[in-house]
Each structure stands twice: as C-alpha cells, then as structure tokens.
Structure 1
Amino acid sequence: MNRIKLALKNKWVRWFLVAVVGVILFFTSIYISVFLGAFGKLPTEKELSSIKQAEATQVLDNAGKLIGKYYIYDRQPLDFEDFPQHLIDALIATEDVRFYEHDGIDNVSLMRVFVKNIIFQDKSAGGGSTITLQLAKNLFGRKNYIAFSMLINKFKESIIATRIEAIYSKQDILTLYLNTVPFPDNTYGIESAARKFFNKPASKLTYSEAATLVGTLKATTYFNPRLHLERSQSRRDVVFQQMLKYEYISQDSLEAFTNQNIVLNYRSFNHDVGLAPYFRAQVKKELTAILDTLKKPDGSAYDLYKDGLKVHTTLDSTMQSFAEKAMREHLTDLQSVHEKSFGKTAPWNSNKAIIQAAIKNLPKYKSLQKAGLTEAQILDSLSVKRKTELFNWVGDTIQNISAIDSLKHYLKFLNTGMLSIAPKTGAIKAYVGGIDYRFFKYDHVSQSERQVGSTFKPFVYTAAIENGMKPCTYFSLQEVTYTNFDDWTPTNSGVKEEDPHLNYNLEMALSNSVNTIAVKVLNEVGIDKVVQQIEKLGISKALPKEPSLALGVAEINLKALTGAYASYVNNSKGVKPYAITKIEDKAGHVIAEFKPEILEEPAYSNYTRQVMLQIMKSTVNSGTASRLRSTYNLKNNMAGKTGTTQNNKDGWFVGITPNLVTVTWVGNDNHSIGFKSTSLGQGANSALPIFAKFYQKLNADTHFNNITKSNFETPSQEVIGDLDCNPEKRDGFFKRLFGRKHKKKKFKGDE
C-alpha cells in the first residue's frame, strides 16, 4: 500500500493514470453515444430480424439459363444448403477461424492484434474483424464523420454484430454474409461471383474456384483474377495453407490444389457486354412498362433493380450465340471489302457535306451551340485530342484522337439487324440489334425503320394472287415510263432488260426480283389493295401511295417485317414478335404471364399462301438467293427473298423455314453512305451470308433438328397445276414487229 501511495506522489505516474482514465472515459463516451444513436440510429433486433437486401432481377432464356441481370448491386441470394462445404471451410479458415466460438466480437483476436500489431508493429497480425463484424459493415455500410470516423464505425459494427449474433444462428450469419459480401468487378454475393468468374452456380465451385473467390475478399481489386491472375493464384494458395493449418484439408490435398492453375470462364452480366445485349436492353424497356402496371401484395411498386424478379424469355441462348458468331464472321470480312472498295474516295474521309452534317448532329456540337459558342469555337473544341477507346473488328484500340476524328472513324462502319422467330407464336429465338452494343446503342431490330427494298415485293404479289391473278400470268420485262409520276422509269438489274419482248410469269419475275414487273403487278392490282393486304398482316404504318411502293421505298421496322413474313408458314396469319413469357417474384410466384399475339383472321387464302411459298422457294433454288445452295451448300427446305434499296443503301434477306423465320439487314447508320457497288450492297451479298452462316451452325447441332430437318407441306394439286407453265415466253411475231421498245403510260394503280 505504501508503495502505491509513494508511486501516486510521482507526478508522471499521476499523469499516466489520468491519461489512462481519460482514454477509457473517452472511448466509453463515444461508445455510449453510438449506442444511444448520436451518430445515427442503430437497427434494433426487430429490424435486424427482417433484413431485406437488394437483389438483382434475373433474365432467363427459354430453358431457364441466366443470360443477364438488372441491378444496382449484382447480387443473387442462396440458402445455406447451396454452399459447398469446402467454400465454408475456406472462408472460416481465412477470415474467422474462431467463428463458431465468439459472439460476434472475437476478444482473443482483438488482444492478439493489440499486442502484435500495435505494440510489436507486426502487420501480419490481421485486423481482428470477424465474419459477423464484416456482415454488419456489408449490410449497413460506413459513414464519414467529421472526426474519429473509423472508431465510430467500428463501435457501430460491434453493436450491430452482437445483435445479429443474438438473433441469428451461425448458419444464418454465414448465409447472410456469403449473399452480401463484395467480390471483384462490382459483384455482390457468392452466387453472382461464381457465375461471373466461372460461369457456374456456387454449388458447383471446385476447391480451387472457391478458394480463389474467398482469397479476393482481402482486397477485391488487388486480387481480382480477371485483372491479376498470378497475384490471385498466389492468394488462393494462401487460402489453401490456412485450410491446411486448421485441418480442413490434408498435406496431399494442398500439394494437389496448389499445382492447379486458375481457369476462368468469365461471363460479364454488364448491360453493355455479354450475350444478347440489344435483346436485354429491349426486355428492360418492356419490363419497366409492365412493372408500372403491377403492384406487390402490400400495394407498393416493384423495383426492377432490387426485388430479385425472374424474367423468363423466349430467347434460345445457343441460337443467339450462333447468330452473333455468324454476324461477326460475315461483317468482319464485309467491312474490310467495303472500305477497300472506296479507297481514297471514301465518303467518311472525303465528302465534306456528309462529314459536316454528321458533326452538326453530334450531341456535343448541339450542347456547345446551345451554350452560345461560335462555329469556330465549337470546331476548335471538337478538335481537341483525347485518349479514346475505339471499336474495331480486329480488336478495340485506345487512340489519342479528337471528337471529329472519332466521328469519321465510326461513319465507315456497316451495321446490322437480325431477328429469328418461331412463326407460329412470334417467340423471339435470336435477336441481334447491331454489331457491338458498347459503341452502337441504336437497336436496328426494334428502333430502326429502313427502306425494305425488294422484300416488299412478295406482299404485292400476295395481294395480286389474292385478288384473282393467276401465277402463270405473264408480264413483259419492257421498261415503262409512268407519265403521271414525274416520268418515273423503273429499271432492272441483272436480267435481260435489253429484250422488251421477253415475258416472265409471276414465279420467274419474283424469284429473280424483276423491278419492272413488280411495278406492273402493283399497277394491275392497285395500291389500295396492296396497302389493305399489308394492314391485314399487322403492319399499320402509312405507306407511300406511288408506284415505287412496289420496289420497297416504304420504311418498315425489321420486327414488324418479320412478323408479317411469318404468315407464309403460319396459316396466313401474321404474328407480333414477343420476348417475355412470364415474370416471377423472388419467391417464385408468377406475377405476370404473356401469350403469343397472333392475328385472329388469315390475311389471305391458303391457296395464295401455298403459291407464294412455292415462288419464294424458287428464289432460293434458282433465283436471287441461290447462293444459299451453291456457295453455302445448304440443303434445308427453305424459301426466301433478297432485297436491295436505291443507291445500295440497304441490303436485306428474309429466310423462311417451316419452324423459323429470320430477317437480316445490313447498311450504314448514316443514310447518305451506301455501298460502292450493287455487287457488294445487294442483299444476296450483304445480308444473306449472315443467315447462311447462322444455318450452317444450326445444321451442325442436332439439338436443332426440329428446325433444320423440318419440311414444308405439300402444296395442293390446284397450286401445282397453276404453277405448271413455262417460266418465260416471247412475244409473237406481229407484237415483236409492231411493238415499241419503250412505252409511256399513266400509272392507274392509285385510282
């Protein structure tokens, strides 16, 4: 006692004791303040017992395969039974070996950290944070206070952790943790991480894969296996060493596991990349509108990004993959030939009018103009060079270029749209809205309207046959000038136009896409009847009532065009292509369901349908699409129609098989830029090869035999008989003798 009194007389001892008491009081006051809510209300045990976390909405293909997500935080929750035991073992061995012994705060670990880290400056001692403390941080985050932020946040987490431990079992805590913990690449929860980095559910993770993901928790960017594979593998091996240390694996297992290399199967669910980005963007638009009409049982609105919905779609992910590969294979080659065809005269480099018009259409130009800058100032601003990532078919590059240089770069690219549907329902099976969603957001399936060229001709012929014209009706190839339409003279390409006395029947004329005859057929049947026929097929937009309508000057959406063509293998009924079949909430309850939208009444007779199908089969077998047989060696039962617009601006192909209808388009987004020549730009060269390569891939996969080996119905004897005539004939002697080589007449088809 005397020694204590003597020691207390020493001022330094007294100061030390005062300091210790002061520190204790300070920490105690901070803790009490946090506990009482001075730095923000803490969740009560009641609130913690019903923890709700934002869950990503999942987009599934027609087989239930995950193809995309909509989220703020990429998170998919699992039950404890879904976690493989070696994942749990790796987590506990690495992050919290005394997890089953503490009540949320591991005092033994904290003491070890205090002695080793603070006193002996041993940085390997760790941070003493338990899984439960980390969970508290994951669930409620951290705030930045004016002073002592770390201390305040640590106290808050310790209070929340003890409350979590009082409510939940250890299994529940592990489940909550693994469903909320952040992994690399803005990924939350083990299920999302497993699917992103290894393209498999968490339940299927191997020892190496589980240890790799657990290893990233120490520093998600530093140990990101996508960015730093060797570093991540080294960290994975540390996890295995921890598992050996705490007897979760044997020495032999350690040696076997550490000899394995990490093999990633990375699948990004970012909206801009991955499978079917244009399709997922369109589904998102439709889903947003649908959810606006629905309410939860409690009356609140559904949240696309937080409520863990499951959206079932019609898309076949394998077919989609084939479609995207076919598009890339063809467009890569076509783009190269397209650029070489122009040489030094390429419009994206030399045509000042096109370039200036494109510059003035830039959002940046418009914003600077609105801000009051002069033309010269705007151009100066747009000429400043910056590091910019550029799309290229042979690999993206980063270049130091200006906005004007970037515009010229993108002006040269051909773009595309492709849609495949099940014709009897309209279910979308493959959907390619463009060449790369990262750089080209405009969707050429759902948003774009382009002139459809000769793909419009079958509708003209359908109207003609439906109104009594026989398939063996003959028309001359002779050019005609229509005096009441500015002396317009349609011409032909690639046929015997020099012989005005040659006549084709309807099959020969359509399968070879003869322009002069298409206009004559329109003139014969009348524009109004053709327009009515189009409306019956579900295309409701206003069409130009002029003779050039027969040649496809009308701008029609690709999706609508596909739905109309489905009628030829769907009992003469058009369909509305659709993507979403049903929507489920996170508990699996169906909250919305959708059925095919098929036009109730046939748009034309069965006789007309069979005749048109036979004619379009001739297009593939001997007409403008014959390269499907000769070049691509496709033996499938097929019908089709090619299409090319004026000045080679658009190339089209429609491919029809009994169980799949596909439309492809290729062109430049800038309407002022077309192909250099018809040989390049015609639909048979620009658009048809995508379809051909797509079908080659389908043919090689027996899973699609129901599509590739399907056969058209046998036409009726009446149809066979009415088509049994010579495809062409010449005028008689007197008609040849007195006939004129060129005629002028008034177009009567609009009367």
Structure 2
Amino acid sequence: MFRRIKNKYLRYLVIFIYFVIVFVCAIELNFLWLFGYTPDMQDIKTPSYSVASEVYTADGKLIGKYYHENRSPIAYKDLSPNLINALVSTEDVRFYKHGGVDFYSFMTSMISTAKGDKRGASTITQQLAKNLFATRKRKSQGLVKHIPVLRTLVYKIKEWSTAYKIEHVYNKQDILTMYFNTVPFGNNSFGIKTASLKYFNKQPKDLTAPQAATLIGMLKATSTYNPINNPTRSLERRNVVLGQMEKYNYLKKDEYAADVKQPLGLDLSYVDDESQGDSYLRQAVEKWLRKWCKDNDYDLYEDGLKIYTTIDSHLQQYAEEAVAEKMKMLQRRFYSIWGNKNPWRDSKGVEIKDFLLKAEQRLPIYNLLKKKYNGDTLQMNAYFTKKKQMRVFTWHGERDTTMSTVDSIKYYAKILNTGMMTMEPTTGQIKVWVGGINYKYFKYDHVNQAKRQAGSTFKPFAYLTALDNGYSPCDKFTDKPVSINYTYEGKQETWAPNNADFHFSYRDMSLRWAMGKSVNSITAQLTEKVGWDKIVDYAHKVGIESPLKAIPSVSLGSNDVSVYEMVRAYSTFLNKGKKVDPILVTKITDQHGNVLADFKLKEEQVISPETAWLMLYMFRGGMEEPGGTSQALWEYNGLWKKNNQIGGKTGTSSDYVDGWYMGITKDLVTGVWVGDDDRSIHFNSSESGEGSHTALPIFGSFMERVYADPKSGYTYGPFPKPWGKITKEYNCPSPHIAADTTATDSLTTPVDTTLVQPQPPAPEGGGPSPEGQ
C-alpha cells in the first residue's frame, strides 16, 4: 500500500501517521499489558474522586477511614469568577478554544524549552485527567514503565486521550468544577472548598481577586508558594497571577494596581470539624504504613484499601475506660494542689514569669500578627486578650465558652495527658494504643511522638547489664553514699546521687531487692561496676532506639524515650530474650478482598533466655520484696486470683514531671506515661506525682477490666517457668523487715512508701497470695 505513494516524503508521513494510530490504539487496549490502564468512556461518565480506605481491629470492627471529604463536588455557581479567571489566565489561556489538548501551546512550549525557558503546556483538562484518573500512578503503568523516554510518551498520550474523552462528555463549566474539586493546595488540603476555608476562612464564592490569585498561584508548587510557610514567595507568585489576569483583561489596570499592594490577608481561624472521626490509632496506622504506601505507590486516602490491625477492640476499650477514669481523678488532684496558683515553675519551684509570652510566640498566628502590626506589642496584646467564643475540652465533654487566647493558653496548659501501649511480646502484636486523652483537642501522640525522661523505669537496663555480665539477682551491695568521677565531652564531672530522703540505710541488699525497692545508691554503684557505656549498649540492644547520653545517670532514666520504645524493650524479657519489631498491621487487601500485603513477626535473639527469665524474676521483686514500688497494685483485688503474678517498675523524673509504670503479666507488657505536655508544669510532692500514684493506677484499672472479661483471652496465672537451666543463684530470701521510705523511682525525689507488708517471694511457678495483705 505504501509503495503506491510515489512521493517519498508523503509516504513517510503516511507511515508515521499509521504507526501513531496503531501506537495509540495499543495504549488504549493495553496491548500485552505493556501500557497499563487507561480510563474508558464509562470511567469518564462516572468518575470516582477517591475511595476511602478502611481500618479494622483484629476482631473485625471498623475503627476509622482515610478519605478526603473535600473531594465532594461543589457546584459551578459556588465558584467565584475571580477563581475561574485567575486559573484560566495563568494555567490555560486558550481553555475555551481547544478540545482538551492545545497543540499550539504544546509546540510553543517545546520551542521555549529549547531556548532555555522551560514552561508547561498541560491544559486544565489534561491536569484534570491526571488528578481525577491518576494516569501516572501504579495501576496506570504497564511494562513500559521501565523504559524512561517511552514511559513519558505513553503518559502524555494517555493524558491527551483522557482529556479528549472528558471534553466529549462534559462542557467547560463542568470541567472547571471538577478541576477545582480535585486539585491539591498543600497542607493536606484537596479541593478549592477546603483550601479557601483553610487559608481565608471563606467559601469559594466569596474570594476576592487577590485571594483567588494566591490560591491559584500555589498550583505551580504547593510547598514553594505556600502562604503560611513561604509568605514572601507566595506574595510574589500571587502578583504574577494578578498580572496575568490584567494582561488578559480579567482585571482593569486600576484594580490590578490596587490589588498588588494588598497583603496576603490570611485568616487561619477556621477549625475543620470534618476530622471528628480521627484518632490517635488511625494516625498511628497511617504513620506505620507510610513507607509501605510510598514503596508500593498506594494512597491511603484514595485507593480503597482495607487495613487489618493488631488492636484488640475489647482491650482498647478497657484501656480507654481506665484512662478516662484515672485521668479525671488525677486532674482533680492537680487542680486541688495548685488552686489559683500558676503551676509553671522552674526546678526551684519559682514561677516562670514569661511562660505565657513564650506560649503566645509558639502559636502559628503570632508571626502573622507581628507582621500585620509591625511588631506593635500593644496591638498584639489586645488581640491575645480579646474575648471570643470558642469550644473547649473538659473532662465532662465539650463546652462552649467565651475566652481570650491568653485564657485558653492558661486553661490548656494545666491539663494532664497520658500515653499507653500494650503489646503481646510472643507475637509482636500491639493490642492497645492510647495516644492521649482526646485526639480532637490534643493531636500529639504520647505513645510514639512524645519522648520523656523515663526515671526509674530505665533502671532495669542497668540490672540487665549486670546479670548478663556475671552478676546474679542475689549478689549484694550496701546502701551507702556513692560518688562517681567521669569525663563527658572533655569535661571532668562528679556524680553523687542521693536516695529519696537523703538517707542511706547502710544495709546489704540483694540486686533483686534493690531494683524492687528502686534504691538509687545501689543502682549507681552497679552502674560504676558494669559501665554506663555498656548500659547504653544493652538498652539499645533490647529495643530502645532514641540516642542516649552515656553518662552515669543514664541508669536513673535521665534520657528521653517513648512509651513505644519502652514497651518494645521490656517485651524482650517476656519473649525469651528475643527483640521484636512491634506489629500494628497484619494484612492489607484491596476493596475486592485481594491480599496486597502480609506483615509477619520479625525477631532477633539479643540476650540469652536465662538472662531474660532472670529479669522477669527481678521484675516480680517490685511486688514481692520489702518496700517494692509496685505494691500499690495490691489495692486492685481483681488482679490477685488463681496464683496470678505481675511484675513491673515505677518511674518518676525530677520534680515529678513524668510518671511512668511498666507492667508485665505472663502474656502482656503495658507501658503508661502521665504528665503535662509542658515540662515546667507538674505535681509538687511524692504523694501526688510519683509514677505509683499517676501511671500505676491506670495499669491496675486496665488489667482488672481485662481479667474480668472471660472473652478477652488473657487469664490469670504465674510467670513462665525457666526456659532452660538457670546457672545463677536467684531464689534469694527477702528480709522480713518493715519497709522504710528510702526507695526512689526518680532522680531526686522519693518513690512510693510501702502500703502493705509484702510476703516473702514464693517458689518459682507460684506467686504471693494476696490474703492478709
């Protein structure tokens, strides 16, 4: 056929056109799966903006969804003409003249690019095709994705083809409406409705020309031209858009001259109520899956995934109930202690005078006000002290009130918070995740985001180091003053820790008794013997990931760690010395039930089974040794049935800033932290602020609920018997003496005095009887 065309140039042109047609048809048909999915006419007629991904507990209860609510279409009549004019004049000036693809602009852009002036040529319809149908995402890719130049050509042809289909089905107004409902504006804002509310607290139809130009200007690069993070660049880009509007007669010259002089005029006061279904757990799952989604090119908010977590809905409920019950009690105690006094204090108990000013300066609106009022502190202060209507969190539900910004800072600064996590060490599965008291008002997750001083909950890592390097639980040290000289960062330092009441008993104490009673002096002596560098190594070995200062006080918990890390590290002891990577998600399927990923247990033997078992024996000392700091758990009668055993460790940081409890049963490890988000706000005495009075009650209440439910699957019982031969002495007798107050679970303050007289430890395989306690 081609030979009949005698003019070779015409013949080559016809051949080229023929192959283009064949190539386009092959792409449309996804020939041999080479080119991936291309939207067909049915897709175009019934577009799906996104499909929500769903999150389930291990027992099949829906606990959350991921979706962009702002994907819901708004009508064309709800769009300001300023938005449309700004978009067309900046992104696609020939929008009303082409049929989806503008080859004139395409050719001119190629010429400009060749001259060094790179600019895009995608029409609004092409951008819509890319946003709405994800023509460049994973499901749209075929085998040619591995061939760079060909891959780009296929992407472009798909966009052209889809754009033509869109123009065939919809009119220009429909296309503009769909475009504005799908385009991203940064800061997790998708669609013009959310963006206009977020940045200007206005509906899209009410935007002025400068405001519309600011939003349209962001489309070139949402991070670079973000008006919150980069106001200077955003202002420059906005004025470029206004210039385009004036150039194409959408603005008069005098309007343009006035508009470019205006400030950005952001209004960030809008609060999005559409996130009420959000939760700490939902956010934790998203963070946990972030890398997997990136590696596999999935979008949680659009791809309709079904995510099955390890969370037990019953245990999660019991944890949340325990937190609510005990935190209300702790908050009442906190208010009672401080009364009308301001609780923000330095280490000497003196009120921090500039606390409120610094809190104001940390607010996102502070710099905007500073710029607006040219640093006039009187006007800025007037803004912060002006009363306004707001809804606030209370321990009895939300409440509408009238409050100034300063009053709000004072109010929220005094509210205590918590973080709690429970894990099943043998499977690595996380069963409970409580990131705080209320996600809507306190977004910060206190399980894995917050890191605080661990206090005496870190001491077990010193005893672990000792047991794994020649010591036994029965080895004795004397409770006496200790002074350690060391060098840190080139400076000579001396560390001489005190016991709680600055009193030393001069008694000989076994390591088990010393750890159970949380004696600072013996922990310090042990630290000097085994080496603080080695303690850091062991802490990292069993699961602590945070950087730790290798100094003698490391064993008393002077470093910041997270609840997540502590639960992981303590789980190593119950898992026969094998460190696990905690699992939050077990399986992901698509919306049709096809399995996309399974997440299996990953574990590593990091300490010997013998050492791990001996550590469990040591943890029981908190309940069984005289003055053991866990003995407040005896008050929880629901814990002590059927020869049940519980081990654990309290912890309190300096000045009662952080209260901790790490609890271990035969099946579970639970970590609880309690404190204020600002470290300068805290309790003021051992009777109110120690871990045994703040975090331990949450653990006790939680485990009572777990044991009371026969369907929970977690039963009473003793700790496991030795997993192998124990070569070290351990069944050390405890002295029958009344407990005193020399124990401490903090750096400088006393721990719980003994509430009951403990019995001697029972033989292995049994536990202390609660009768008579």
TM-score (norm 2): 0.60
Shift of 1:281: 1.0
- Is contact 1:60-1:313 (8 Å) kept? yes
Shift of 1:586: 1.1
Q: Is residue 684 of structure 2 the alignment partner of residue 676 of structure 1? A: yes
Q: Is residue 517 of structure 2 the alignment partner of residue 515 of structure 1? A: no
Q: Is residue 348 of structure 2 the alignment partner of residue 343 of structure 1? A: no
- Is contact 2:472-2:728 (8 Å) kept? no
Q: 2:539 aligns with which of 514, 534, 537?
A: 534
Q: Is residue 718 of structure 2 the alignment partner of residue 711 of structure 1? A: yes
Q: Deviations over 1:164-219 (max 9, x none)?
A: xxxxxxxxxxxxxxxxxxxxxxxxxxxxxxxxxxxxxxxxxxxxxxxxxxxxxxxx
d(CA) in 1 for partners of 2:506, 2:299:
68
Task: Give the alignment of 1:625-636 within 5 angstroms.
Answer: 625-635=630-640, 636=644
Cα distance change on mapping 1:723 and 1:716 into 2, 3 Å: farther
Residue 710 of structure 2 is matched in structure 1 by 702
Cα distance change on mapping 1:376 and 1:351 into 2, 3 Å: same
Residue 645 of structure 2 is matched in structure 1 by 637
Q: Deviations over 1:312-356 (max 9, x none)?
A: 111111111111110000000110111111223332596423333
d(CA) in 2 for partners of 1:145, 1:578:
46
Alignment identity in percent?
Answer: 37
- Is contact 2:430-2:584 (8 Å) kept? yes
Q: Give secondary structure in 2 for the equivalent of 1:654.
A: strand
- Is contact 1:425-1:597 (8 Å) kept? no
Shift of 1:573: 1.5
Residue 279 of structure 2 is matched in structure 1 by 277
Q: 1:506 aligns with which of 502, 511, 514?
A: 511
Residue 660 of structure 1 is matched in structure 2 by 668
d(CA) in 2 for partners of 1:74, 1:664:
37
Counterpart code for 1:691: F
Cα distance change on mapping 1:476 and 1:59 into 2, 3 Å: same
Q: Deviations over 1:608-664 (max 9, x none)?
A: 222211111121344111111234551132111111111111000001112211000
Residue 201 of structure 2 is matched in structure 1 by none
Q: 1:571 aligns with which of 571, 576, 597?
A: 576
d(CA) in 2 for partners of 1:554, 1:364:
33
Task: Give the alignment of 1:310-389 within 5 angstroms.
Answer: 310-348=306-344, 351-369=352-370, 371=372, 372-389=374-391
Residue 33 of structure 1 is matched in structure 2 by none
d(CA) in 2 for partners of 1:703, 1:74:
41
Residue 492 of structure 1 is matched in structure 2 by 499
- Is contact 1:621-1:629 (8 Å) kept? no
Q: Give secondary structure in 1 for the equivalent of 2:295.
A: coil
Q: Deviations over 1:246-270 (max 9, x none)?
A: xxxxxxxxxxxxxxxxxxxxxxx98
Counterpart code for 1:360: Q
Query: Which runs of 5 or more structure 1 residues have no equivalent in the other structure?
Result: 1-42, 76-137, 148-268, 296-301, 731-751
d(CA) in 1 for partners of 2:354, 2:496:
29
Question: Greater CA radius of gyration, 1 or 2?
Answer: 1
Q: Deviations over 1:71-99 (max 9, x none)?
A: 22499xxxxxxxxxxxxxxxxxxxxxxxx
d(CA) in 2 for partners of 1:450, 1:412:
18
Counterpart code for 1:278: Y
d(CA) in 1 for partners of 2:590, 2:664:
37
Shift of 1:672: 1.1
Counterpart code for 2:322: A
Shift of 1:381: 1.7
d(CA) in 1 for partners of 2:44, 2:440:
40
d(CA) in 2 for partners of 1:146, 1:551:
62
d(CA) in 2 for partners of 1:321, 1:710:
23
Quick check: 65-74 or 328-337, which moved more?
Answer: 65-74
- Is contact 2:576-2:613 (8 Å) kept? no
- Is contact 1:476-1:501 (8 Å) kept? yes
Q: Deviations over 1:280-309 (max 9, x none)?
A: 0121233343222224xxxxxx33223321
Q: 1:562 aligns with which of 557, 561, 567?
A: 567
Cα distance change on mapping 1:351 and 1:720 into 2, 3 Å: same
d(CA) in 1 for partners of 2:500, 2:274:
43
Counterpart code for 1:376: L
d(CA) in 2 for partners of 1:716, 1:587:
44
Q: 2:461 aligns with which of 445, 450, 459?
A: 459
Query: Which runs of 5 or more structure 2 residues have no equivalent in the other structure?
Result: 1-38, 82-271, 346-350, 487-491, 738-773
Cα distance change on mapping 1:549 and 1:303 into 2, 3 Å: closer
Residue 435 of structure 2 is matched in structure 1 by 433
Q: Deviations over 1:491-541 (max 9, x none)?
A: 1227xx645421211011000111111111111111122122122113233
Task: Give the alignment of 1:181-196 within 5 angstroms.
Answer: none
TM-score (norm 1): 0.61
Shift of 1:141: 6.2
Counterpart code for 1:562: V
d(CA) in 2 for partners of 1:507, 1:145:
72
Residue 615 of structure 2 is matched in structure 1 by 612
Q: Give secondary structure in 1 for the equivalent of 2:354.
A: helix
Residue 251 of structure 2 is matched in structure 1 by none
Residue 406 of structure 2 is matched in structure 1 by 404
d(CA) in 2 for partners of 1:505, 1:392:
47
Residue 481 of structure 2 is matched in structure 1 by 479
d(CA) in 1 for partners of 2:449, 2:325:
24
Q: Give secondary structure in 2 for the equivalent of 1:420.
A: strand
Shift of 1:48: 7.0
Cα distance change on mapping 1:614 and 1:286 into 2, 3 Å: closer
Residue 444 of structure 2 is matched in structure 1 by 442
d(CA) in 2 for partners of 1:370, 1:597:
52
d(CA) in 2 for partners of 1:718, 1:433:
40
Counterpart code for 2:548: L
Q: Give secondary structure in 2 for the equivalent of 1:406.
A: helix
Counterpart code for 1:642: T
d(CA) in 2 for partners of 1:524, 1:509:
15
Counterpart code for 1:709: Y
Q: 2:598 aligns with which of 570, 593, 596?
A: 593
Cα distance change on mapping 1:362 and 1:416 into 2, 3 Å: same
Residue 216 of structure 1 is matched in structure 2 by none
- Is contact 2:69-2:274 (8 Å) kept? no
Cα distance change on mapping 1:699 and 1:478 into 2, 3 Å: same
Q: Deviations over 1:41-86 (max 9, x none)?
A: xx997457766463221111112221111122499xxxxxxxxxxx
Cα distance change on mapping 1:145 and 1:474 into 2, 3 Å: closer
Task: Give the alignment of 1:226-265 within 5 angstroms.
Answer: none
- Is contact 2:574-2:613 (8 Å) kept? no
Cα distance change on mapping 1:535 and 1:351 into 2, 3 Å: closer
Q: 2:656 aligns with which of 618, 642, 648?
A: 648
- Is contact 2:343-2:681 (8 Å) kept? yes
